[in-house]
Structure 1
Amino acid sequence: MRLTNVSFRYRRRDQSVIRDVNAQASPGDVIELTGVNGAGKSTLLRLLAGLLTPTTGTIADRPAVVGLAPDRFPTEQPFTVARYLDHMARVRGGARWRPWAERLTMQHLLDVRLGELSKGSAHKVGLAQALMGEPGLLLLDEPFAGLDADTRDALPPIVADLSARGVVVVASDHQGGLRGLPSLRHWSLTGGLLTEPAAPAEPVLEAPPVTVEVTVPAGEVAAFLGRMRAEGYAARELSEETR
């Protein structure tokens, strides 16, 4: 997969979130993507997945099957975990999710409704749905966030097995959970520019969350919230009672 002069901005007059990225990923590559909050990591993952189209430049030779595990798995759906995964398996032509549920130590969650899951448990569901389709490209957005110790230990061997089968894995990861893999590559995003450091950078520590109130014209609220959520921020419109 090759990225050539890839840039992206959400609106015509916006500043580019991703700027002039040139990079290549070969079968079996495992790539750790780092950068501070707001650097564009989630946007780059969505570009790699084909969910966003570059404003300029091209992404060529993307594998036919892509799995994406988002940082925040959407739990506002009226399913149990098993029913949701069964539904996704049918959508994907009979994909098998139960072996992945076993490896991710989530059998005890199968009868739990999605809306009742903790963030870490919901993240396991996101990982299972990303893995079940046997992707050629696996994209992981903060894959270790909120996971229990057993699943944290299980994930690096899963990634190593996929790499050995030629799967390209790109993980946006502040915690350095894949650092033990010998063939790990490193991409760093700073100001929308992508570099590949020769040695691993230290994990970027998350600062405590801060609530910021922003005033946006009424007609631009939906687009603004969409951009913020795409970057991984928790954004919502305040009701009259809470303003």
Structure 2
Amino acid sequence: MATLSYAAKDSRTMVRRNLKKALRYPSLTLTVVIMPIMMLLLFNYAFGTALGSGIGPSAAGGGEYIDYLAPGIILMAATSGALTTAISVCVDKTEGIVDRFRTMPISRASFLTGHVVGSVIQTMTSITLVIAVALLVGFRPDATPVEWLAAIGLLALLTLALTWLSAGIGLVAKNVETASNIPMPLTFLPFIGSAIVPPESMPAGLRWFAEYQPFTPIIETLRGLWLGTGIGSSAAIGLAWCVALTVVGYLWARRTFKAGAKR
């Protein structure tokens, strides 16, 4: 029990450290927030008329194209947050701070826990800002409070999964440039899904990939919760992907961190 209390206390200290660091150097966090907002505004105002007429109102739950677009872009805010985690962990590793922590009487688990929890808080804050902008430009969900809680919970679980994966990326990356480049496919993978247009409108091979990649069922679940469109098996599949990615990311990051301590 004392060991758990000791680890929890050290983890809280690491979370505060990472949040203070984010406040002191906000440029990366702002960049990650601005990108989904720019995508939202670009696709809604520059391409919204053409894309909206192509997919029809039924795909957006009877609403405008912004109603179809917003859930995918909001999810993109979660994937963009992975970038900050990978860079932050890699900076600590390459600057020797990790080695310094290993010589101190602190819980070994607190380093990764602090980064992951701090990054989840930052990413969820970014998601809140993107949702606010989406509402300002016309996103009109008709979800109940319970459905809103379910949608936020799903986004939080996805954020946790991607954050653990990104922590592993930051530990294996040789430098900050590599750490910033490896997560980029995660950021744009929602576009090769149902974020912008339905997979049914894509060529056969691309349609197959869009339908079976991890983010499409999560996006469809968010649409169903917010707009009342059909969810079907998407919720179960989306949750399964989130849990699987969380487990894989956690085990990978923990194993890589322990392997680094033995060198």
**Pair in the same fold by TM > 0.5:** no
TM-score normalised to structure 1 length: 0.26
Answer with 1 or 2: which has the greater Rg. Answer: 2
Decide which structure has greater strand share. 1
